[in-house]
Structure 1
Amino acid sequence: MRTISAAETAPATYAWSVHAEQLKVKAGRHLAVDGLDLRMQNGVHGLLGPNGAGKTTLMRALATVLRPAGGKLTILGQDVGGRGNLRQARRGLGYLPQEFGFYPRFTVREFVEYMAWLKEMPKHTIPGAAQRAIERVGLTTRADARMKTLSGGMLRRAGIAQAIVNNPLVLLLDEPTVGLDPEQRLDFRELLRDLAVDSCVLVSTHLVEDVVAACTDVLMVNEGRLVFQGDANTLIDHGGPNDAGDSPAERGYSALLRRARNGGVA
């Protein structure tokens, strides 16, 4: 049994769950995130932006998969851009990438338990934590089904289950609603609200309506820079009847994107 250090049990002293200053991150040789400033605390934060805006690269940096190329990035009080304690930060993270790997012959339960083990959760807590995570995403009846037999939507829910199994303080979800039907998306929104009570949740999506319905805070990036941060009502207020979109939120998004491309920042 590993001995838990005093540092690990000490109360959190950081002001922000996620804090980035002039953050630069490369995707290959391309500078995909360029001088981004960001502060986030508990709540549901929606991340919007066109394809190629840097959303996935930003998510990967926040998940400590990519090291920053410049600037400062602090996750749960750990400076992960320099010589910070990545292991300590990762224990408080949950991450669902756009595409996640798994062993096809694993059952859903085995997959979630295996991911809990990789996150260094105490062995005796893993079965119960896995069961709770599976129940929260609505896969109780499929818990002992093999991953290879699941539909696309069920696979996505299994991915969400592994992301929340350790009750993360920072939860990063990249396109989590892909493959979910309308009823499942409503359930997912309710789950987000529940998780956000004690966690900082960042959701990247192209579905503007999901962001408006579930998120307390909206972030928008374009060409690697943060061009908007505010609540959903403020996003909507930026739109007008002549802007593209089928809803007030989409028209607000279109207006902000047009302004950003013309050199303006909201």
Structure 2
Amino acid sequence: MKPPTSAAEIAPKTYAWEIRATGLRVRAGRTKMAVDGLDLSLGTGAHGLLGPNGAGKTTLIRALATALRPAGGELELLGSPVGGRTDHRALRRRIGYLPQEFGYYKRFTVREFVEYMAWLKEVPPAEIPGAAQRAVERVGLADRADHRMKTLSGGMVRRAGIAQAIVNDPDVLLLDEPTAGLDPAQRLRFRELLQELGRESCVVVSTHLVEDVAAACSDVVLFAAGRLVFQGTPDQLAAAGGPDHPGDSPLERGYSALLINSEQRGGSW
């Protein structure tokens, strides 16, 4: 981790969870409550966020990234409350975020893009070149570091996005569909990186790929209709299903069984 840059960051860790939500409610747009009464606690490790389309996963990730303000309940990140008119600038220095779609200057090289994002995150100027080089190497783009972003394939652009998310060595890393566009070999390397990052940081990965979660995450969070349906290990998720439930693997059968049970209890999406 990079050295602290403010008095607030020098203070010792006094919080039990990197992420803690109690009765959290977050709107998507003006009226729809996409996250509705969520109770969730996440610590150091790799956490897979699963759920069907429209479950509220992206809205939750954006709230955790402080891009959306909670409409109700409580949200704490790294021991600091999120919401209201609080200035989250110091907190954002300690967060890494990869949205589903992100913008970039096409004429920037990969190195320039990652260095620019490090500057925006207020990484100390003297540390930016080294931090950017390490991030580019970790996502396997060292040989493309001086290529312009506009020349990259979709999968390479996604890897550059992961590089900018980790360039500040974040304490909380939020990745929304990070494997979109990656080929099978790149997905395997990403799983290894995810396991590595989860040893020191709280990593939340939103994805539709159950097998990626099983391979890289020690904790699974299943989300539907804006509410928590399940939280446990991949083995516990697999045990929730049976041969009569749809799916090509025990994990997929457990996933479908829990969603069916949630819908029968009154959830919908």
Q: Under TM normalisation by the shorter chain, which class is it? A: over 0.9
Partner SS, residue 259 of structure 1: helix
Aligned length: 263
Report sequence identity in percent.
70
* Residue 97 (structure 1) aligned with residue 93 (structure 2): no
Q: 1:224 aligns with which of 223, 226, 251?
A: 226
Partner SS, residue 159 of structure 1: helix
Normalized against structure 2, the TM-score is what?
A: 0.95
Partners of 1:149 and 1:21 lie apart in 2 by 44
**How far does residue 12 in structure 1 lie from its aligned partner after superposition?**
1.8
Normalized against structure 1, the TM-score is what?
A: 0.96
Partners of 1:40 and 1:223 lie apart in 2 by 20
Partners of 1:223 and 1:95 lie apart in 2 by 23
* Residue 113 (structure 1) aligned with residue 115 (structure 2): yes
Partners of 1:6 and 1:61 lie apart in 2 by 25
Partners of 1:21 and 1:103 lie apart in 2 by 38
2:50 counterpart residue number: 48
Given the superposition, is the C-alpha separation of residues 96 and 226 from structure 1 closer, same or farther in structure 2, using an over 3 Å criterion? same
**How far does residue 9 in structure 1 lie from its aligned partner after superposition?**
1.3
2:7 counterpart residue number: 6
**How far does residue 6 in structure 1 lie from its aligned partner after superposition?**
2.4
Q: How does 1:87-236 map to 2 (within 5 A)?
A: 87-236=89-238
Letter aligned with residue 169 of structure 2: N
Which blocks of at least 5 consecutive residues in structure 1 are unaligned? none
Partners of 1:237 and 1:108 lie apart in 2 by 43
Letter aligned with residue 163 of structure 1: A
Superposed CA RMSD: 1.3
Q: Can you list the C-alpha shifts for 1:184-241, whole angstroms capped at 9, x where unaligned?
A: 1110000011111110000000000001111000001110000100000000001111
1:70 counterpart residue number: 72
Given the superposition, is the C-alpha separation of residues 233 and 87 from structure 1 closer, same or farther in structure 2, using an over 3 Å criterion? same
Segment drifting more, 75-84 vs 195-204 = 75-84
Native 8 Å contact 1:79 1:85 kept in 2: no
Partner SS, residue 36 of structure 2: strand
**How far does residue 82 in structure 1 lie from its aligned partner after superposition?**
3.4
Partners of 1:85 and 1:91 lie apart in 2 by 12
Partners of 1:238 and 1:75 lie apart in 2 by 30
1:27 counterpart residue number: 28
1:17 counterpart residue number: 18
Which blocks of at least 5 consecutive residues in structure 2 are unaligned? none
